[in-house]
Amino acid sequence: MDDAARVLDDAEALPLPSQGIIDFRGLLQADSAALAVMIALKRRATAEGRTLTLRSLPEGMKSLAIVYGVEKLLEP
């Protein structure tokens, strides 16, 4: 749990992409910490009045989002 909290804290320091797109092409797998970071970044973008689009999500991340009931949060 400490790792997930640290990852979320680190994500707060990440700048949002200037184009508003994160492309996961080439990423083969991702865990729940990666999912948490993407949700946090999407929420931050919304709070800042910006759009953040996630492209080419790995199937594993999509599956985790469905299991956790947060798949709608990953949509554009």
Domain that holds residue 12: 2-74
pLDDT value, residue 2: 58
pLDDT value, residue 8: 76
Query: What proportions of the chain, in percent to the nearest 5, are helix, strand and coil?
Result: 55, 10, 40
pLDDT value, residue 31: 86
pLDDT value, residue 29: 80
pLDDT value, residue 34: 85
- Cβ neighbours for 19, distance < 8 A, ≥ 6 positions apart: none
- Give 17-63 pLDDT, tens digit per residue: 999 999 999 888 888 888 888 888 898 999 999 999 999 998 888 99
> Could you give the number of structural domains in the chain?
1
